[in-house]
Homo-oligomer: A and B are copies of this chain.
Amino acid sequence: MKLGFVSAILPELELEEVLAFASAEGFECVELMCWPKGKAERRYAGVTHVDVAPFDERGAGRVRWLLDEHEVAISGLGYYPNPLASDPAEAQVYVEHIKAVIRAAQLLGVGLVNTFVGRDQTKTVDAQWPRFLETWRPIVACAEQHGVRIGIENCPMLFTGDEWPGGRNLATSPAIWRRMFGDIPSPSFGLNFDPSHFVWQHMDYLRPLREFKDRIFHVHAKDVRVDRDRLDDVGIMATPLEFHRPKLPGLGEVNWGRFFSVLSDVGYEGPVCVEVEDRAYEGSLELRKQALRQSLGYLRNFA
């Protein structure tokens, strides 16, 4: 496996600085954020380390040159909008940009784009399933045409009241994955697996590694701590951030030894990228760099 990080946590750094940092600290790869310039709608979004809007072979060449220079690989291109947003016009903008990221991935020879399938948060899963299929069959077809795979992160995008009740991403559980991959069985359609979301959903994050081993295209290394005292007070019907906190790997409840144990046994050899969303480490650029450093050191115990 290759240890890397998600570049969203370093928004003030230029691409070259990101790669230089990665290289200096011993990371083997980076998931580069590809949000359209100027659009930061929510925390951790809106970061543009590769600007795919005006991307061409020359832009790709410059990026590849920087990667060679710093001996760091791109684990995948990342862009996490809500392509099933209730406003169809808004959703369409997201879909178009996903396709732009797919084209950029082909030009870069990266082969992987990470994103969300999205969700209309006000509707049940069943109620929006037809729309999910209508939206995603063309995107997956587009990815196939460009020789790029799509890794859907299993994040429910349900943290605070504004995302209530359904969150902004359907791909949250093995039951839904089975349905997704049953209806869109393309081998280019898979997962960007983050075990931490399973913890607060009270699900086993090891068993799916076996069933979906051929669908795991990318892994996020984030952790969470469920605060029992808070959960006792509000219960699982509350919005999730009322009872848990995202934390760095090693500071939460994921058993990383067991996670890498099973991951290695199912034959996964791809990237594992640290995703920092730990508020205690976000006060300054230095602290965020320290968070990446510490996480890498911790994960080296197991990979």
Contacts and interface: CB of A to CB of B under 8 A. Distances in A.
Interface of A: 124, 126, 156, 158, 161, 164-167, 172-175, 198, 200-204, 207, 225, 228-229, 231-238, 245, 247, 250-252, 257-258, 260-262, 264-265, 267, 278-281, 294, 297-298, 300-303
A252 to B, nearest CB: 7
Residue of A237, A265, A302, A303 most packed against chain B (CB within 10 A): A237
Nearest to A174: B233
A175 B201 CA distance: 20
Contacts of A175: 233-234, 238
Contacts of A298: 301-302
Give me the 5 closest cross-chain CB pairs, A-B, nearest first. Answer: A165-B165, A201-B235, A264-B280, A251-B261, A204-B232
A215 B51 CA distance: 48
Residue of A207, A229, A261 most packed against chain B (CB within 10 A): A261
Contact of A235 (B173, B265, B279): B173
A233 B236 CA distance: 16
Contacts of A265: 225, 245, 279-280
Given A126-B161, A174-B232, A251-B260, 11 more contacts: A175-B233, A201-B235, A202-B231, A203-B233, A225-B262, A250-B301, A251-B261, A252-B261, A264-B278, A294-B303, A297-B301
A203 B225 contact: no
Contact of A156 (B166, B233, B237, B251): B237
A302 B252 CA distance: 10
Contact of A173 (B202, B233, B257, B258): B233
B237 A172 contact: yes
Residue of A247, A278, A280, A281 most packed against chain B (CB within 10 A): A280
Contacts of A245: 261, 265
